[in-house]
Structure 1
Amino acid sequence: MRFVFYLLMMIAVALVVGFGLSYYALTDGRLFGVAQVGPWHAWPDVGASAPNPYTRGHLARTAAFELGQAEGLQFTATSDSDGQALSRDCSYSVQGKTPLATFWTLVALDDAGVNIAAPDVAPAMHSANIVRTNEGDIQINIGTRLMPGNWLELTGEGSFKLVLSLYDTAVFSGFSSDESMPVILRGDCA
């Protein structure tokens, strides 16, 4: 009787662990197919001709039109560099260097993937129309309240994510540290 009890317990544990890891891999999967640099994460196999199974699960779940490997790579941040979730109640500053790319864009999206830039302003910041520091770094202010310099004005309230799309880049050939990506610093909150 004791043997049957242990056998049933082992089967239950195996099922919970197996289904739990499968659910995690298909819903989030960041431990398996994602490259993480600071608060930014990307799926490098998205545009591959034969992506890994976790990337396939990500593509099936999001059903988004992704860039091919020869076109570029998208990095997404849902938190600032301190690990706190991005919220439209706060202002943020994206500062530092960007990986080498012919062109890049930075856009703010809500949880449904809708652009939350204010109406009558540019829907995204891009590399061709920003002012850089003397060292060549970027400094983009993001929030619902007026800020100096490069400003991506947002509307509404709630959480959001930042998407940095790098076009015509070989980002993973020399990608080594958090210094390769800009930091996201939290400012004042309402």
Structure 2
Amino acid sequence: MCGLVLGLLATWAAINAGYGFGSLVAGPWTAWPQTGVPDIDPYARAALAGRGEAPLARGLGLAFVARVDSSGEPLDGRCSYRISSPVPPARFWTIGLFGLDGAPLANDAQRYAYSSGEVLRREGGGFDIEVARNARPGNWLSPGKARSFVIALRLYDMSIDASAKPDPSAFPSIVRQACS
């Protein structure tokens, strides 16, 4: 009986901790490249089914998620953040805010993400995206009334080697500005 309970607890923890095994970590960003392959591990398959998600196929792209800022502190909707370039080489990318359940965050601006084709850029091609409840000039995303959220970076047609450790300096920084 004890073995059954321990097995069920271990399975529950594995499913709720992410998408199984084989994560790629680059600073605050984490991706699970094995979720987009036919021989996906059973823990990742269960996690995807539980969340109702359909992952990108490995050859199409990769989704990275940040639950913490660049200093390792959990993202907090009462705080403001600056997400700053660079982004790893990709034909197209998006950066957006999502709830812990994976749904886009409701906000009055009805702006949920920016893409590489629409983000306003600084001279030289870099960009900054402000994350705050109150409107900001330039690229701004609001977490709405959410207390907790995640930032998702989706890279489409990218050149990241899923078997190598990615360079954190090639990924956007997430810097906490102030909290209310």
Normalising TM by the smaller chain, what interval? Answer: 0.7 to 0.9
Who is 1:59 aligned against?
A: 48
- Once the two structures are TM-superposed, the CA of residue 75 in structure 1 deviates from its matched residue by 0.7
Who is 2:33 aligned against?
A: 44
Who is 1:186 aligned against?
A: 176
Contact kept, 8 Å, 1:33 with 1:52, in 2: the verdict is: no
Matched, 1:176 2:166: yes
**Which residue among 83, 86, 97 is the counterpart of 2:75?**
86
1:96/1:175 CA distance change after superposition, 3 Å: farther
**Superposition TM-score, scaled by structure 2 size:** 0.84
> Which AA in structure 1 matches 2:45?
R
Query: For structure 1, which segment, 14-23 or 157-166, has the greater mean C-alpha deviation from structure 2 after superposition?
Result: 14-23
Who is 1:34 aligned against?
A: 23
Distance in 2, Cα, partners of 1:36 & 1:48: 19
> Which AA in structure 2 matches 1:154?
P
Distance in 1, Cα, partners of 2:112 & 2:142: 9
> Which AA in structure 1 matches 2:103?
V
Distance in 2, Cα, partners of 1:135 & 1:181: 17
1:117/1:172 CA distance change after superposition, 3 Å: farther
Contact kept, 8 Å, 2:93 with 2:155, in 1: the verdict is: yes
Contact kept, 8 Å, 1:116 with 1:155, in 2: the verdict is: yes
1:133/1:111 CA distance change after superposition, 3 Å: same
- Once the two structures are TM-superposed, the CA of residue 69 in structure 1 deviates from its matched residue by 1.4
> Which AA in structure 1 matches 2:29?
W
| SS in structure 1 at match of 2:151 | strand
Query: For structure 1, which segment, 30-39 or 83-92, has the greater mean C-alpha deviation from structure 2 after superposition?
Result: 30-39
Distance in 2, Cα, partners of 1:176 & 1:109: 23
Unaligned runs of 5+ in 1: 1-10
Aligned length: 179
The two structures, once aligned, show a CA RMSD in angstroms of 2.5
| SS in structure 2 at match of 1:26 | helix
Matched, 1:102 2:82: no
Unaligned runs of 5+ in 2: none
Distance in 1, Cα, partners of 2:38 & 2:20: 22
Q: % of aligned pairs identical?
A: 32
Contact kept, 8 Å, 1:91 with 1:145, in 2: the verdict is: no
Which has the larger Rg? 1
